Amino acid sequence: MRVLLVHPSALMYSEIFLRLEPLGLERVAAAARDAGHQVRVVDLQVLRHRDLRRVVHSFRPQAVGFGLNYLANIPEAIDLSRAIKRVLPDCFVFFGGHSVSFVADDVLRQARGAVDAVVRGEGEPAMAPLLQAVGDGGLREVPGIVTADGHGPAPRMLHGIDDPRPARDLMRHRRRYFIGELDPCASMEFTRGCPWDCSFCSAWTFYGRSYRKASPRAAAEELASIAEPNVFIVDDVAFIRPEHGDDIAAELERRRIRKQYYLETRADVLLRNTEVFERWTRLGLRYMFLGMEALDAEGLDLFRKRVNPDDNFRALETARRLGINVAVNLIVDPAWDAERFRLVREFALSVPEIVHLTVMTPYPGTEIWHTESRRLTTRDYRLFDIQHAVVPTTLPLERFYEELVRTQSVINRKHLGLRTAFGAARILTDRLAHGQTNFARMLWKFNRVYNPQRQLADHRRPVHYELPLPPRAPVGSRRELYIHTRQAPRSGPPSRPSGGPAGRPQ
């Protein structure tokens, strides 16, 4: 069968700070190819809609799948599905991915026949039975399937994450992927899942608090196969299990694999497992994303981070001592007033770290979705991108965006202004000398992408697809939020050891 997989366009923050290879879609593509199908991938982060139309007309796929890890991409995917159906009426169109798993039934209704099915849960184990059913029938027996006729069996979860290895060879524009100064940059997965239960995050509800690890040997083999000199480790929280990080490091040392790494972790994990992070600095760990989320204990308790402000600041000092460049994330509460924004600007200018701001957004699958969704001021999918306010703001909305962008621009100037111009110029010259323009484009796009008038205008766009509200009945058990409810039994030959459940979502 001819199968086309599509990643939607970049979101607002991806226009500047990063553009990551669609690792999940690459793994799903590998699963489809392993099942004997002919597969193509179109990534609209780096290609345009006309490129997708060209592939649809030339390749004439029998099945098209959209990867929807972000709510904001759902309207685009529905419209593109409708366009594909006009050209290929018999083509089977399906959606899958993190965010759409929580709103599958509603998205099918909104698509009005343009989408044949949504696959909830992990995509890799669903691909072979799904594509076989498309050809031979029995669609309702596919794990995780949702169609107009109802739900099939529960989603199936991979026992181990060593296989399938991402089909990176299907990506024709790999040099377009980057994160900050790491240009170009590949992505790599060491673990999947997260054992914490932060109220703003849906990773733990998606994976059912499971936690799986790649075997050190498989991780090292995959890293050795990556051509890019830079790698972003996509784990929700890196090196929760220090022995796992050490075992992968030992494999890399033995094989003499040297790259530059960017990863995400928590303050308490960094403090508890400092030796592992120190070892990784010798292997090339240069950048770290640290989700502080709030500066005070009240904010941390609100988000159920299970960490205190002192630990957050100790973690920053530890990272500085190790020579790791840190990007700190703070969640902007729409209740902030002008004074709170001023204090955040003061903090951002007082520390050497980069400070990123994301707007508190209730997403389906999170606990705050059930506590805050009745306060929504909009249900436009496109605004659920952590850069727009979707609940009431204390400041008038225009003033809120003015303060938000002012704070972001102050932080931007701090790292790309006169004080750091020499360093930025050196990096820029090096990237351009190697034909890489992503970092250069990032430096000059900020004011065009981030401005209050653009964000306000986004609220005034006509809305054709609205996010559904959750049932009014309270959640009786937090397990009711889970997509995957338990580890699936093995099928086929046993895979290599990969660890067991432990769980923590992001």
Q: Give the pLDDT score at 291.
A: 85
Q: Are the C-beta atoms of 439 and 428 separated by less than 8 Å?
A: yes
Q: Give the pLDDT score at 420.
A: 45
How many C-beta atoms lie closer than 10 Å to residue 347's C-beta?
Answer: 14
Two tokens, residue 285: 């760990």
Helix segments in 208-273, DSSP class H = 216-225, 242-255, 267-272
Q: Give the pLDDT score at 165.
A: 97
Q: Give the pLDDT score at 489.
A: 41
Kindly list the averaged pLDDT for each block of 10 residues, start to end, along the chain of length 506: 97 82 97 98 97 98 97 98 98 97 96 98 97 94 96 94 97 91 94 90 86 97 97 97 98 97 96 98 96 86 85 95 94 95 93 91 90 90 96 97 92 59 60 65 68 94 93 62 61 32 30
Kind and range of the H or E run holding 357:
strand 354-359
Q: Give the pLDDT score at 499.
A: 32
Q: Give the pLDDT score at 252.
A: 98
CA angle 316/321/327 to nearest 5° reads 40
Q: Give the pLDDT score at 488.
A: 42
